[in-house]
A and B are shown apart, each in its own frame.
Chain A
């Protein structure tokens, strides 16, 4: 199975700050990567797919980048509604696997 290592596990940032979350795959996943946001008590919501494509309706302050085994999610100008957990998911090879998650809080 492809292991997805996400960092950091938790993050505290101020409003307006830029935040970056990393995801490293145990092998090349050829941009088969998605990012999800999950708020407490809610289901995950798709933010980014194919490593860098913004899902419909997602604010443009979210962006994804990377290639090979290294990927990142960037949130520009952090808003209060961005407080959530974030997960990466690879869909290059079965079984699809997820990163351990990053819990983002406000400082």
Chain B
């Protein structure tokens, strides 16, 4: 069955780099895009970027200068790296998938990982 699971540190110091991993099962990263979406304290959602099924990436320009998304298809993992973290980056980070040949709506989401940026 389709699963996505985020993992990473719950606490990051200001100005440091956030590294998260999304481990997927039940589908292939070469057929589906995986996106990163974050949410501040139950408030609205913010799309950050995506890893396409062909290995290309797209980013929200609000994050372009400090966000990087990569993957390891052999491990079924997609990675998020974001540097220069500030307290405003505190929130829950989700990975979600969509089929590249349909609209970019997300039919499966991970459980999310809560990240706090604090010294």
Contacts and interface: CB of A to CB of B under 8 A. Distances in A.
Contact of B105 (A34, A94, A100): A34
Chain B contact residues, majority secondary structure: loop
Interface in B20-74: 35, 42-47, 58, 60-62
Most A CB atoms within 10 A — which of B44, B105, B112? Answer: B105
Interface string B77-119: 0000000000000000010100000111111011110000000
Interface residues of A, number: 24
Interface bracket on B: 20 to 34
Query: Ordered nearest first, which 5 A-B pairs have the shortest CB separation?
Result: A34-B105, A91-B104, A43-B109, A95-B60, A96-B47
A62 interface: no
Interface of A: 32, 34, 36, 40, 42-46, 49-50, 55, 85, 87, 89, 91, 94-101
Contacts, number: 58
Contacts of A100: 43-44
A37 to B, nearest CB: 11
28 contacts: A32-B104, A34-B103, A34-B106, A36-B106, A42-B111, A43-B94, A43-B111, A44-B45, A44-B96, A45-B109, A46-B105, A49-B103, A49-B105, A49-B107, A91-B104, A91-B105, A94-B58, A94-B60, A95-B60, A95-B61, A95-B62, A96-B104, A97-B47, A98-B44, A98-B45, A99-B44, A100-B44, A101-B43
